[in-house]
């Protein structure tokens, strides 16, 4: 493979309900997303109220070839293929992995298996201004539909998980409470939109584990409290006020735990990544709290459009492997790892 100073990586993402392919180009420190396509399956799964794994896999099959064609024109103008190996839905992951293996075999290129969670961390690195502040250690709040973790990045490809959710992820808390309110899948973005017009002080919902000294999270109790609220008082209230109260409870816990972790490990920067990092209140509250309690520590976040799953972040995490000269695996031996962790 070529030197890391000049390299083009093709990234493929099919772990859940977005098929995405990107071409990332690094040329003498200049990083550019040359091409990037995301085909969302959200309208398909919305009919069922959540992701149906078999339908997700079949839809990836239909999409991934056409996105690879659009991105590459079937020319081998790339140096390696990075593909999500896990975590995610087993059948969905295998579609991307098999597409990656086929490209690796037919164009004789290395295949880089990428941890989807590392991809989310790399989504913040794609922002040029963030790369200027990319000094280790960096504390990450990783908040996606399936994961809520506090991760200390000590170097490229070197991580320590400081805390994680003991039950539901923050994204799940948004989606499940939104479903209880009758909002369409995925409810997180809709709940957050309605919340921006409501009063967060209307209902005093629990902030699970907020005072617990550990850096772990728990969100399942919040879901139960919201169910109880909806069955009782909330029926007479404005949905905007209910949404604002739910959002405030989730954001308060995420912010408090991140600040606690930052005070403990004293990172050079804090980053928030994953689908829930699209939430404007989370970013503004986190920024405020860091300014107050950890002055001088910057908050890094992905660019608009790269919060949720995408191929560019997978290509970026593949690039990290090249930069760190990680051993290239034999693609024939690679299989999906649905439960992969950092």
Q: Which does 297 bind (CB under 5 to 8 A by kind): ligand KG4, Zn ion, none?
A: none
Q: Which does 278 bind (CB under 5 to 8 A by kind): ligand KG4, Zn ion, none?
A: ligand KG4
Q: Which residues contact 261 (CB under 8 A, 6 or more apart)?
A: 139, 150, 162, 163, 215
CB closer to Zn ion out of 221 and 338: 338
**Interface with ligand KG4 (CB under 6 A), residue from 188, 198, 267, 311:** 188
**Interface with ligand KG4 (CB under 6 A), residue from 86, 110, 113, 171:** 171
Q: Select the span of 31-39, 59-67, 75-83, 141-149 touching ligand KG4 (CB under 6 A).
A: 141-149
Report 75-134 residues binding ligand KG4 (CB under 6 A): none
CB closer to ligand KG4 out of 82 and 103: 82
What's the maximum distance between 2 C-alpha atoms anywhere in the chain?
64
Q: What are phi and psi of 287, to 5 degrees?
A: -60, -45
CB closer to ligand KG4 out of 130 and 144: 144
Note whether 279 binds ligand KG4 by CB under 6 A. Answer: yes
Q: Select the span of 55-63, 224-232, 276-284, 330-338 touching ligand KG4 (CB under 6 A).
A: 276-284
Contact at 8 Å (CB) between 56 and 39?
no
Least separation in angstroms between CB 11 and Zn ion: 13
- Residue 334 to residues 84, 124, 212, Cα–Cα distance (Å): 11, 27, 40
Q: Select the span of 70-78, 149-157, 224-232, 270-278 touching ligand KG4 (CB under 6 A).
A: 270-278
Note whether 320 binds ligand KG4 by CB under 6 A. Answer: no
Q: Which does 189 bind (CB under 5 to 8 A by kind): ligand KG4, Zn ion, none?
A: ligand KG4
Q: Select the span of 153-161, 181-189, 233-241, 328-336 touching ligand KG4 (CB under 6 A).
A: 181-189
Question: Would the CA dihedral through 40, 42, 44, 50 be positive or negative?
Answer: positive
Q: Which residues contact 44 (CB under 8 A, 6 or more apart)?
A: 17, 55, 59
Contact at 8 Å (CB) between 95 and 64?
yes
CB closer to ligand KG4 out of 110 and 274: 274
Count, residues near ligand KG4 per rule CB under 6 A: 18
Least separation in angstroms between CB 115 and ligand KG4: 12
Q: How far apart are CA 218 and CA 169, in angstroms?
A: 8
Q: What are phi and psi of 81, to 5 degrees?
A: -110, 125
The H helix count followed by the E strand count for the chain is 11, 10
- Residue 250 to residues 31, 177, 197, 239, Cα–Cα distance (Å): 35, 11, 17, 17
Q: Select the span of 29-37, 171-179, 227-235, 317-325 touching ligand KG4 (CB under 6 A).
A: 171-179
Site string for ligand KG4, 4-43 (x = CB under 6 A): ------------x---------------------------
Q: Which does 276 bind (CB under 5 to 8 A by kind): Zn ion, ligand KG4, none?
A: ligand KG4
- Residue 177 to residues 48, 247, 253, Cα–Cα distance (Å): 16, 10, 16
Using CB under 5 A as the criterion, which residues of the chain lie in contact with Zn ion when the complex forms? Answer: 144, 309
Q: How far apart are CA 322 and CA 239, in angstroms?
A: 49
**What is the H or E stretch that residue 138 is in?**
strand 138-143
Listed residue (62, 48, 51) closest to 95, CA to CA: 62
Note whether 309 binds ligand KG4 by CB under 6 A. Answer: yes
Binding residues for ligand KG4 (CB under 6 A):
16, 144-146, 171, 174-175, 186, 188-189, 192, 274-276, 278-279, 308-309
């Amino acid at each position: 493979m070529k030197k890391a100073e000049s390299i083009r990586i093709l990234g493929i993402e099919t772990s859940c309900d977005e098929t995405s392919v990107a071409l990332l180009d690094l040329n003498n420190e200049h990083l550019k997303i040359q091409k990037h396509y995301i085909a969302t399956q959200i309208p398909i799964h919305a009919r069922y109220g959540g992701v149906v794994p078999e339908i997700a896999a079949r839809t990836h099959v239909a999409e991934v070839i056409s996105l690879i064609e659009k991105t590459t024109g079937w020319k081998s103008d790339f140096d390696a293929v990075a593909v999500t190996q896990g975590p995610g839905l087993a059948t969905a992951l295998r579609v991307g992995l098999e597409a990656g293996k086929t490209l690796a075999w037919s164009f004789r290129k290395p295949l880089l298996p990428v941890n989807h969670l590392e991809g989310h961390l790399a989504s913040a690195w794609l922002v040029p201004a963030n790369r200027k502040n990319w000094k280790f250690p960096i504390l990450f709040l990783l908040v996606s539909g399936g994961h809520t973790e506090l991760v200390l990045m000590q170097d490229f490809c070197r991580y320590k998980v400081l805390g994680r959710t003991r039950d539901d992820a923050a994204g799940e808390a948004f989606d499940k409470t939104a479903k209880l309110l009758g909002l369409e899948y995925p409810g997180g973005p809709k709940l957050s939109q309605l919340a921006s017009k409501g009063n967060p002080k209307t209902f005093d919902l629990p902030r699970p584990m907020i005072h617990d000294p550990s850096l772990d999270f728990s969100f399942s109790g919040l879901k139960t409290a919201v169910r109880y609220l909806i069955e009782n008082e909330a029926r007479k209230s404005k949905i905007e006020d209910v949404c604002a109260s739910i959002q405030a409870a989730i954001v308060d816990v995420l912010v408090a735990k991140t600040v606690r972790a930052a005070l403990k490990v004293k990172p050079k920067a804090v980053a928030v990544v994953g689908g829930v990092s699209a939430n404007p209140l989370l970013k503004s509250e986190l920024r405020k709290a860091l300014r107050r309690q950890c002055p001088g520590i910057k908050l890094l976040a992905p660019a608009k459009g790269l919060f949720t799953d995408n191929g560019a972040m997978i290509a970026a995490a593949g690039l990290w492997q090249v930069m760190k000269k990680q051993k290239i695996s034999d693609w024939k031996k690679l299989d999906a790892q649905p439960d992969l962790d950092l």
